[in-house]
Amino acid sequence: MRIAVGSDHAGFEPPPPLYKPSVIAHLERLGHEVIDCGTDGPDSVDYPDYAEKVCQALLTGQADRGVLICGTGIGVGIAANRHKGIRAAPCTMPEAARLSREHNDANVLCLGRRLLTLEECLEILDVWLSTSFSEGERHIRRIKKLG
């Protein structure tokens, strides 16, 4: 898959492991093509700017899915969900990641550096990437209502 990855400075928050580089390395190990949407270091930036870059990568067809990281996963989630066609899911457990794919066909996963260990993030990411949308009639109907 082509996966756009973006974070604010929380993706580079010490102590190591630094979450954004670790998530990118994990995705590449799995054979995915990563589109790195920044940021690139620990200097303070604004999460809406990186949510915007990831969403644009999806909406222009450059990426199939997106992964966003901020302190909580909430800020990037709020920002991403302002875009028509983006269904961003802040997830703090694998079950939420699974359901966000099966029921909501979530196309962006939002992870919180300050809420999750890196190991938890990668487990959530793996579940999210390996779960398909159920294609259930009721779920399609509900997603259509999102516009």
DSSP H helix total and E strand total for the chain: 6, 5
Task: Provide the minimum distance between the beta carbon of 116 and ligand RB5 in the complex, in angstroms, as a whole number.
Answer: 12
Q: Does 80 bind ligand RB5 (CB under 6 A)?
A: no
CA 120 vs CA 62, 92, 111, 124: distances in Å: 28, 8, 10, 6
Q: Does 81 bind ligand RB5 (CB under 6 A)?
A: no
SS3 state of residue 7: strand
DSSP 82: T
Nearer to ligand RB5, 72 or 107 (CB): 72
* Tokens describing residue 146: 């999102």
Respond yes or no: is residue 83 known to be catalytic.
no
- Segment interacting with ligand RB5 (CB under 6 A) among 50-58, 59-67, 68-76, 87-95: 68-76
Respond yes or no: is residue 70 known to be catalytic.
yes
Task: Provide the minimum distance between the beta carbon of 100 and ligand RB5 in the complex, in angstroms, as a whole number.
Answer: 18
